[in-house]
Amino acid sequence: MCFCHLTPLAVGTAGTHKETHERSPFFLVPPDRQVMSRASDRAYAAIRAHLLSGQVVAGEQLTEDQLAQITGVSRTPVREAVRRLENELLLVRSDTKRLFVADWSRDDIEELFTLRQMLECHAAERAARRLSREQIAALDSINRDLKAAVDGALPDVGRFLDANRAFHEVIIEAAGSPRLGQLLARLVEAPVVLRTARTYSQDDLRQSARDHDELVAAFAARDPEWARAVMGSHLRRAFHTFARAVGPAGTTDQAPPSDAKDA
Amino acid sequence: MCFCHLTPLAVGTAGTHKETHERSPFFLVPPDRQVMSRASDRAYAAIRAHLLSGQVVAGEQLTEDQLAQITGVSRTPVREAVRRLENELLLVRSDTKRLFVADWSRDDIEELFTLRQMLECHAAERAARRLSREQIAALDSINRDLKAAVDGALPDVGRFLDANRAFHEVIIEAAGSPRLGQLLARLVEAPVVLRTARTYSQDDLRQSARDHDELVAAFAARDPEWARAVMGSHLRRAFHTFARAVGPAGTTDQAPPSDAKDA
DNA sequence: GCGGTGGTTATTGTATACAAAACACGTCCG
DNA sequence: CGGACGTGTTTTGTATACAATAACCACCGC
């Protein structure tokens, strides 16, 4: 399975109660490259972290002011960050432009994984033709790390997720289709947030590692059909893992129509 | 072929040279529904129309100030409109956040159509299972209009494009996959802008009508595989029509690296 | 009681001023 | 002559004030 792509960047300054333009504590940034210099980027990361932290209930209403306070920047960059998160389907707007934490029904999740499977199988097929020898070696190395993370008595889920994300990113990168990458970015981020309290079974994690092994084999053999097939089963299993967590039938539904009062 | 989805909404107030907060001329709006009440929507439509109008060269740099003047609103809503257009791949940003009119190489176009084919074939397949009798009738009716538009001595390309867009939208709607619709919206808008001066050959238009006829037949027969196959050839032909217009090899390339000076 | 109606508050949308960054270009020093 | 460097200019980014809209709620007439 594949609960990939956890938060790509940790948040820098969260929770400073905005005291009129306080200069953000960025002494000693890595001198070569000013990381996260834009307030909208910081806001994006902070809001995302906030959503992932589990302090937020799916379907809950958020206001831009709230988020501005949480992130410590003004509403202008918050609005920009919110737009990005809307695109990634982590936030949704009601018909009257009020903002809610996205809530995913089982059907929504299935739809998402179906689309993701379609696109990422395509990516795997293309990657099988185009991966350089070095990239294949890199995949193998990443997957060794992934296996190390899950082989111990108690698996290191965070490290697993990082390695998993890196693995899939190499494939998408190698597919050489920038628009495909953009589309997938949008689909991949959403399910991560879902049920953050969920604990991954070690069996799931190890099966994922085996899938990745087989993908590497398919790539090494330069067999696009094989790669596509493995990726397909890999992602389909991911769907069932998620679906198991959320329940059998249509459980929760989209946020905006429902009122946030009873959340 | 399928050069669908022309500009969905005409612009309301374009070109008023922003004279410090002049109240927008919205006396006598349709009383039931305030259309385009948001400045950012007007800006979006205006910029889009501007791009489609052919007054703009692919690869050219744009500034937010410029666009604010063109649209008659301040930079804030312009920025929001620009974000939308970036998502639809009509505008791109350089690595230093400068804004350019997207420029599409032949390879870019092929990539785009490949992705679109993948997604829209899926939509057709699903639609074949889910279209109501009324929707199939609607498709037939739309396509009759489309044929009427192209059967005359000189075809009405605008009407053709409208009908074509409506046709594909019914299918996507019937596929019952909102995220799929969002993804496609993003892919479909981009190529429209390309080479707006292009004239469509009547043969192309008529072949398109025949494709649509066959799609309706596949839907009526409730044959998902047939629908998928027809949609596939329909879109692949569209690609070649576009590719023919832009030239054989890698002609133009992405904008941001190149300087706009020689444009 | 019930549905509408007014005012009140909460929330989003827009304009504007200013800050930060990127760019263009001329200068200086090697 | 060439490349680092500064400086003025352009362009994007952010904060803030205010406007417009939607939600809320209490009131009233029926």
Confidence of residue B211 (pLDDT cuts 50, 70, 90): very high
Check if residue B29 sits with its Cβ under 7 angstroms from strand D: no
- B262 has a pLDDT exceeding 80: no
Average pLDDT, chain A: 81
Nucleotides, chain C, CB distance < 7 Å: 10-17, 20-24
* Pairwise CA distance, residues A94 & A102, whole Å: 11
Per-residue pLDDT, A28:
32
Q: Which two tokens stand for residue B196?
A: 């707006």
Q: Mapping DSSP to helix (H, G, I), strand (E, B) and coil, where does residue B254 land?
A: coil
Give φ, ψ of B93 to 5 degrees.
-115, 140
- A46 has a pLDDT exceeding 70: yes
- A42 has a pLDDT exceeding 90: yes
pLDDT: which is higher, A14 or B127:
B127
Does the beta-carbon distance from B111 to A83 stay under 8 Å? Answer: no
Q: Say if CB A72 and CB A15 are below 8 A apart.
A: yes
Q: pLDDT, tens digit, for every residue of B145-204?
A: 999 999 888 888 888 888 999 999 999 999 999 899 989 988 988 776 555 545 678 888
Q: pLDDT, tens digit, for every residue of A112-163?
A: 999 999 999 999 999 999 999 999 999 999 999 999 999 888 888 888 888 9
Confidence of residue B122 (pLDDT cuts 50, 70, 90): very high
* Pairwise CA distance, residues A238 & A2, whole Å: 5
Q: What is the CA radius of gyration of chain A?
A: 20
Domains located in chain A, CATH noted: 106-246 (1.20.120.530)
pLDDT: which is higher, A19 or A239:
A239
| CA atom of A99 to C1′ atom of C23, Å | 38
Does the beta-carbon distance from A179 to B115 stay under 8 Å? Answer: yes
Q: What is the 3-state secondary structure (H, E, C) of chain A?
A: CCCCCCCCCCCCCCCCCCCCCCCCCCCCCCCCCCCCCCHHHHHHHHHHHHHHCCCCCCCCEECHHHHHHHHCCCHHHHHHHHHHHHHCCCEEECCCCCEEECCCCHHHHHHHHHHHHHHHHHHHHHHHHHCCHHHHHHHHHHHHHHHHHHHCCCCCHHHHHHHHHHHHHHHHHHHCCHHHHHHHHHHHHHHHHCCCCCCCCHHHHHHHHHHHHHHHHHHHCCCHHHHHHHHHHHHHHHHHHHHHHHCCCCCCCCCCCCCHHHC
| CA atom of A38 to C1′ atom of D2, Å | 35
Per-residue pLDDT, B155:
85
Q: Which of A213-217, A227-231, B241-245 has the lowest mean pLDDT?
A: B241-245
Q: pLDDT, tens digit, for every residue of B60-83?
A: 999 999 999 999 999 999 999 999
**Any idea what DSSP says for residue B93?**
E
Residues of A in contact with B114 (CB under 8 A): 177
Per-residue pLDDT, B104:
86
Q: Mapping DSSP to helix (H, G, I), strand (E, B) and coil, where does residue B26 land?
A: coil
Average pLDDT over residues A159-171: 92
- A196 has a pLDDT exceeding 90: no
- Cα–chain-centroid distance for residue A85? 11
| CA atom of A213 to C1′ atom of C22, Å | 46
Per-residue pLDDT, A195:
56
Per-residue pLDDT, B20:
36
In the sheet with B61-62, reading across from the earlier edge strand, the strands are B61-62, B99-101, B91-93
Per-residue pLDDT, B28:
32
Angle, vertex CA A116, rays to CA A113 and CA A118, nearest 5: 110
Residues of B in contact with A228 (CB under 8 A): none
Q: pLDDT, tens digit, for every residue of B87-113?
A: 999 999 999 999 999 988 889 889 999
Instruction: State what percent of residues in chain B have pLDDT above 70.
Output: 77
Side chain identity at A106, as an amino acid letter? Answer: R
Does the beta-carbon distance from A122 to B118 stay under 8 Å? Answer: yes
Residues of A in contact with B119 (CB under 8 A): 115, 118
Average pLDDT over residues B124-146: 97
Average pLDDT over residues A245-262: 50
**DSSP string covering B96-120:** TS-EEE----HHHHHHHHHHHHHHH
Assess B178–A contact: CB distance below 8 Å, yes or no: yes
Confidence of residue A193 (pLDDT cuts 50, 70, 90): low
CB-based contacts of A178, cutoff 8 Å, min separation 6: B111
